[in-house]
Structure 1
Amino acid sequence: MTIDDTDRAHLLRCLALARSALSDGDEPFGSVLVGADGTVLFEDRNRVKDGDATQHPEFAISRWAAAHLAPAERAAATVYTSGEHCPMCAASHGWVGLGRIVYAASSRQLGEWLTEWGVEPAPVAALPITTVVPSAVVEGPDPGLGDEMRATYREFFAP
């Protein structure tokens, strides 16, 4: 599969959520869960600024899906996210049994940008989703959103 116009529309919503997090002083990440019929089921943004580094939107999606969807519904759903899942979020995705993941910017891209800007590395290794969840179906990064993602990250992370 490739990223199509429907995927891009959901990724643009993720970017809007990331910008919402940014305007609230939080790290700019946003995610959307979409059911097999195309219905947006849940969305969230990063909420780590108050000290709980587990408050990632992808992790929130996993918790919400586990509480509200049957296993078959989870497997048929798609998670859209502004940035590739960290290992914690990828693991939660795998444990809950969510379906396809589509992201705008990769962990590798973010890591390269952070290095360029002189930002200290995160305390957790940036692993590709499929290293954590080998059977995951993953699409990304979206080359059409790279510049916007870089600019959004730069606004938060660059000194």
Structure 2
Amino acid sequence: MTIDQEHVARTIELAEEAVEDGNTPFGALLVVDGEVRREAKNTTLTDDDVSAHPELKLARWAGRELSAEELADCTMYASTEPCPMCTAAIHYAGIGRVVFGVAGETLHELTGGAIPIPAAEVIRRADGEATVEGPIATEAAMAVHEAFFGA
């Protein structure tokens, strides 16, 4: 298993924890200099906050706490491809790389609720420099969504 796969596997665990906490299945983490600096779970339901996505929480934290150099060199890992709102925050924060488990389009096929605009497209249209990689764990990430939303 590669380091990217290990980190995405952890985000899938965080997504499972989010469900246990009464939320929808999304998790993310931020790696700086090879070290996991922060993890986040979706809390949109328990916080009654539509913006409480883990990727947005991490982008906000990173923008406040990391230097420009750290931001450019860090990687955000997400269980599911970040939505356009979160991707815009990733771009504005200056996070350099994103790796995700399952594509938003695949989730959209299951739920009909995701906005199926690829993160790479949002970054490209923003003239951003972040690299976006994925999906790298479709089956494992979708299993959590299928259990929550129904297959």
Give the TM-score taking structure 2 as reference length.
0.91
- Structure 1 residue 42 corresponds to structure 2 residue 38: yes
Q: Which runs of 5+ in 2 are unaligned?
A: none
Percentage of identical aligned residues: 36
Residue by residue, what CA displacement relative to the aligned partner does 1:33-80 show, whole Å, maximum 9, x if unpaired? 001x20111110000013211000000111100111011110100000
What's the CA shift for 1:154?
Answer: 1.2
1:138 to 126, 132, 143: 132
Indicate the RMSD between aligned Cα atoms, in angstroms. 1.5
Q: Note if contact 1:113-1:150 (Cα within 8 Å) is conserved in structure 2.
A: no
In the alignment of these two chains, the number of paired residues is 146
Deviation of the 1:15 alpha carbon: 0.6
Could you say which residue in structure 2 is the equivalent of 1:156?
Answer: 148
Measured against aligned partners, the alpha-carbon deviations of 1:126-155 in whole angstroms (never above 9, x if no partner) come to: 21112211133011001xx32222221012
Listed as ranges, the gaps of 5+ residues in structure 1 are 115-120
Task: Tell me whether 124-133 or 148-157 shows the greater mean CA deviation.
Answer: 124-133
Alignment counterpart, residue 4 of structure 2, candidates 3, 7, 10: 7
CA distance in 2, matches of 1:73, 1:11: 20
Moved over 6 A (4+): none
Contact residue 74 and residue 97 of structure 1 kept, 8 A: yes
TM-score scaled by structure 1? 0.87
